[in-house]
């Protein structure tokens, strides 16, 4: 599976960093950190992220679906 940056999901929605932050109920710096991958979107936010971005959870956090 090709890794797709989370920022791409936000851009496809046409959201600014501020709009994404408002949707998630976090501040802009949190969105920036998630998009840089440190830290990743927490598991407790994964369902919301998938719904908001309109993608599968696997696309947002492929690391939790990889087989060792």
Q: Which domain holds residue 57?
A: 6-62
Answer yes or no: is 57 within a domain: yes
Answer yes or no: is 1 within a domain: no
pLDDT at 37: 86
Return the CATH number at 13.
1.10.260.40
pTM comes to 0.82
* 3-state helix/strand/coil string of the chain: CCCCCHHHHHHHHCCCHHHHHHHHCCCHHHHHHHHHCCCCCCHHHHHHHHHHHCCCHHHHCHHHCCCC
pLDDT at 38: 84
Answer yes or no: is 68 within a domain: no
Answer yes or no: is 33 within a domain: yes
pLDDT at 17: 96
The pLDDT tens digits along the chain (68 residues) read 445 689 999 999 999 999 999 999 999 999 999 999 888 899 999 999 999 999 999 999 988 887 66
Q: How many domains, the chain?
A: 1
Answer yes or no: is 16 within a domain: yes
pLDDT at 65: 80
């Amino acid at each position: 599976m090709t890794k797709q940056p989370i920022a791409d999901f936000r851009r496809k929605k046409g959201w600014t960093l501020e709009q994404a932050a408002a949707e998630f109920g976090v501040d802009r710096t949190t969105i920036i950190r998630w998009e840089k991958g440190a830290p990743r979107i927490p598991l407790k936010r994964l369902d919301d992220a998938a719904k908001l971005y309109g993608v599968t959870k696997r696309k947002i956090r492929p690391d939790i679906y990889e087989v060792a």
